[in-house]
């Protein structure tokens, strides 16, 4: 039906061209199927933000639950304003400054896209909003590293600057049509849904922030119990559900590629959780709920860059490898003694790196064949590994360096680390003048 | 033997707890309670300033032998205050005579069971 329609439209177009009316730009029409799925995906990715708020909120002490959840909601608010204003243009505008970022003034406040239908047959508004959700959740992930000890105002300024100076440039390099990592090697660095852009960038920043701001008062001497693992599990569940929009939506289509992404996402999440559970059984004799939640996330993070290119077997492998490596990384954190409070680096940073590098060994043969054809000869796994390593390396170095400067500036001007007194009182009281839990036991 | 019951502001719990540990008073029971006081608690609910009827507080129950009463009370007073001069709502301390104390594990009685 749709095919017939486009065919007849093409005929009309051809007739118009003959008559010399150059309406070529208007040729693309909205595909309702694709648009519906992309609208759904956009909503699903936004659902991950309250999911993350619940996941992180359940892991902190009762006096910090509102403050921690507000880190996620704060990102929804600040980036929600910033993205249509600057972020979309900086990320997806044509390259400026030698390709450092993009910019097109017609994207400012999304003014110029009121009538635009993209070549993927969806309105550009949908694409801009879909991408905006990624920009929201990414800085919110960082908050896990410095939970329970930052000033709310300083945090908001930090994520705003981070969105402009770290997220948007990396997003431009990896996903914009003229980004340098998008065009590296035969068919670009593979980052289907944000292994580098979202998880490595936020994970590395998390590590830098945890090191720069220092540990929470009393860490690691005092045990800091999660306030509500029930909420954490519900959050992990919402993240898993939302991730179908995150990964399958990143196909910007509603077809075979979407189905592939959805399938491997489901399998990697399950494999990650399963592996983590087995490791805990072997190591401690008990499987914890937090372990299962962490395994789900490790699997989801690892499959994120790979969802477009790996087959189910690869998804299993990536989920399992990520779970083992993240588990070891979190154990190592205990040994090294830095306070990445909610393991933003341990899960997102490490999981992202594992996914972006290891995916190389599980790419479907047809992709490699296409890559070989494109360079007019052969394209080996090792060549692609070089491309992947470059993308990962560039992301790590850039995110770490710029984030350190931003942390320094915010700390010295507005203040990011809160006073000892405020930290003891808890963020809920000192930052928001509220309390999260009614009569639940204090800890 | 005395039972010291202190009603304090929730945001001072960690301050008091740490000060008590510093003073070697380590056996305490903590619960969340609500009550009426003279204080008008200021909270924001959807942008509106509200003064709820029942105000959340934290209650500490500490059983001590007589010679530890002063240090316990002084420590709580010092650490539970907001600012140098204190503020309305900082709480109260009740001291009651305690007839008996039993350690369940050993069935020990009296001062040594505390």
The answer to whether A226 and A60 have CB atoms below 8 angstroms apart is yes
Are A435 and B56 within 8 A, CB to CB? yes
How remote is the C-alpha of A336 from its chain's centroid?
A: 26
Q: Helices (H), strands (E): how many in chain B?
A: 2, 8
Determine which of B13, B14, B28, B30 to mutate to test the interface with A (most A C-beta atoms within 10 Å). Answer: B14
How close A306 comes to chain B (CA, Å)? Answer: 43
Question: CB atoms < 10 A from the CB of B92, how many?
Answer: 12
Ordered per-residue pLDDT tens for chain A, 443 residues: 344 444 444 444 444 444 444 444 556 889 999 999 999 999 999 999 999 999 999 999 999 999 999 999 999 999 999 999 999 999 999 999 988 999 999 999 999 899 899 899 999 999 999 999 999 999 999 999 999 999 999 999 999 999 999 999 999 999 999 989 998 888 889 999 999 999 999 999 999 999 999 999 988 888 888 999 999 999 999 999 999 999 999 999 999 999 999 999 999 999 999 999 999 999 999 999 999 999 999 999 999 999 999 999 999 999 999 999 999 999 999 889 899 999 999 999 999 999 999 999 999 999 988 988 988 888 888 999 999 999 999 999 999 999 999 999 999 999 999 999 999 999 999 999 888 887 666 66
Of B34, B44, B58, the CB nearest to A442: B58
Q: Cα–Cα distances in Å, from A274 out to A267, A286, A298, A422, B55? A: 10, 13, 11, 40, 45
Q: Which CATH architecture has domain B2-113?
A: 2-Layer Sandwich (3.30)
For chain B, which residues lie within 8 Å of any Cβ of chain A, measuring from their own Cβ? 10-15, 18, 30-32, 34, 42-44, 56, 58
Taking CA atoms, what residue in B is nearest to A218?
A: B18
How close A427 comes to chain B (CA, Å)? Answer: 10
Share of chain A above pLDDT 70, in %: 93
Tokens of A347: 């899960």
B16 interaction partners in chain A (CB closer than 8 Å): none
Cα separation, A230 vs A290, in Å, equals 10
Are B42 and A433 within 8 A, CB to CB? yes
Strand partners, B102: B109
Q: Cα–Cα distances in Å, from A197 out to A84, A131, A138, A181, A194? A: 18, 11, 8, 11, 5
Are A438 and B58 within 8 A, CB to CB? no
Q: Which of A189, A229, A169, A157 lies closest to A409, judged by CA? A: A157
pLDDT (tens digit, 9 = 90+) per residue, B31-72?
988 887 665 556 666 777 665 567 788 999 999 999 999 999
Are A425 and B14 within 8 A, CB to CB? yes
Taking CA atoms, what residue in A is nearest to B14?
A: A424
Taking CA atoms, what residue in A is nearest to B17?
A: A424
Please state the domain extents for chain B: 2-113
Domains and CATH numbers, chain A: 50-111+120-219+228-421 (1.10.3430.10)
Size of interface A-B (CB pairs under 8 A): 37
Query: What SS3 class is residue B19?
Result: helix
- Rounded to two decimals, what is the model's pTM? 0.87
Angle at B84 between CA B83 and CA B85, to 5 degrees: 95
Taking CA atoms, what residue in B is nearest to A420?
A: B15
Complex ipTM value: 0.74
Angle at A235 between CA A233 and CA A241, to 5 degrees: 105
Of B13, B18, B44, the CB nearest to A442: B13
């Amino acid at each position: 039906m749709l095919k017939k329609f486009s065919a007849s439209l093409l005929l009309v177009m051809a007739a118009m061209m003959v008559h010399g009316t150059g309406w070529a730009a208007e040729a693309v029409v909205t595909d309702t199927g694709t648009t519906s799925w992309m609208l759904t995906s956009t909503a699903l990715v936004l659902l991950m933000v309250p999911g993350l708020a619940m996941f992180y909120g359940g892991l902190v002490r009762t006096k910090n639950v509102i403050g921690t959840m507000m880190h996620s909601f704060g990102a929804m608010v600040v980036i929600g304003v910033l993205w249509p204003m600057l972020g979309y243009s900086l990320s997806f505008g044509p390259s400026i400054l030698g390709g450092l970022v993009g910019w097109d003034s017609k994207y400012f406040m999304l003014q110029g896209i009121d009538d635009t239908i993209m070549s993927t047959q969806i309105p550009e508004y949908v694409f801009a909003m879909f991408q905006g959700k990624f920009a929201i959740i990414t800085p919110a992930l960082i908050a896990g590293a410095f939970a329970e000890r930052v000033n709310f105002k300083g945090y908001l300024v930090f994520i705003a600057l981070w969105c402009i100076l770290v997220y948007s440039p990396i997003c431009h390099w990896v996903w914009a049509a003229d980004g340098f990592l998008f065009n590296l090697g035969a068919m670009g660095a593979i980052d289907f849904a944000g292994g580098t852009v979202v998880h490595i960038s936020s994970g590395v920043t998390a590590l830098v922030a945890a090191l720069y701001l220092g540990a929470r008062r009393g860490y690691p001497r005092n045990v800091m119990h999660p306030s509500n693992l029930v909420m954490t599990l519900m959050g992990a569940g919402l993240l898993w559900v939302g991730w179908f929009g995150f990964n399958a939506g990143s196909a910007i289509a509603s077809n075979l590629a979407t189905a592939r992404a959805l399938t491997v996402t489901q399998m990697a999440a399950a494999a990650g959780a399963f592996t983590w559970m087995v490791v805990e059984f072997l190591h401690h004799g008990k499987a914890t709920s937090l372990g299962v939640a962490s395994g789900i996330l490790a699997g989801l993070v690892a499959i994120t860059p790979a969802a477009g290119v790996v087959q189910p077997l690869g998804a299993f492998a990536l989920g399992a490898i990520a779970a083992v490596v993240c588990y070891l990384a979190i154990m190592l954190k205990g040994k090294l003694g830095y306070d990445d409070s909610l393991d933003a680096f341990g899960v997102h940073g490490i999981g992202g790196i594992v996914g972006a590098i290891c995916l190389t060994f599980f790419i479907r043969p047809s992709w490699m064949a296409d890559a070989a054809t494109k360079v007019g000869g052969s394209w080996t796994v090792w060549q692609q590994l070089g491309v992947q390593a470059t993308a990962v390396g560039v992301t790590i170095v850039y995110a770490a360096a710029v984030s350190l400067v931003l942390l320094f500036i915010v700390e010295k001007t507005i203040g990011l680390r809160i006073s000892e007194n405020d930290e003891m009182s808890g963020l809920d009281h000192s930052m928001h003048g509220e309390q999260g839990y009614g009569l639940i036991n204090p800890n | 033997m005395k039972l010291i019951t202190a009603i304090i502001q929730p945001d001072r719990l960690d301050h008091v707890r740490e000060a008590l540990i510093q003073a070697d008073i380590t056996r305490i029971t903590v619960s969340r309670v609500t009550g009426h006081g003279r204080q008008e608690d200021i909270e924001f609910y959807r942008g509106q300033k509200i003064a709820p009827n029942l105000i959340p507080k934290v209650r500490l129950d500490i059983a001590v032998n007589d010679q530890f009463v002063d240090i316990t009370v002084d420590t709580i007073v010092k650490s539970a205050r907001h600012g140098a001069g204190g503020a309305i709502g900082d709480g109260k301390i009740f001291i009651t005579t305690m007839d008996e104390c039993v350690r369940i594990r050993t069935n020990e009685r009296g001062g040594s069971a505390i």
